[in-house]
Amino acid sequence: MINKEANPVEWAGLMYELEDAREHLAALIVDMEKDPEFDETVLRIQLGHVFSHLNRAWHRRDLNRDFVEEEWTNASKFPNDLEPI
């Protein structure tokens, strides 16, 4: 896994993805608690956004460079090398 000292730029990208996921998840919780009309469509969209950040964080963990444009879409998908527990 990359680390802050050896890969500071890549580390910042990894941290960005995790922090953005945290912010969006917190906003999702607030929205769900405030809006009695909150529905599955909005949940699906917002969770999809959170998962995209988490998935890119997973794919960045070993990457000592930024994603090239062709990798962005695949890196946003749920990884096939990570099993939910």
pTM listed for this prediction: 0.89
Mind listing the pLDDT tens digit for each residue in 4-49?
999 999 999 999 999 999 999 999 999 999 999 999 999 999 999 9
Decide: helix, strand or coil at residue 60: helix
User: Do residues 58 and 79 make contact, with C-beta atoms less than 8 angstroms apart?
Assistant: yes
Residue type, 56: R
**What is the chain's Cα-based Rg?**
15
User: Do residues 50 and 25 make contact, with C-beta atoms less than 8 angstroms apart?
Assistant: yes
Please state the separation of Cα 22 from the chain's center in Å. 9
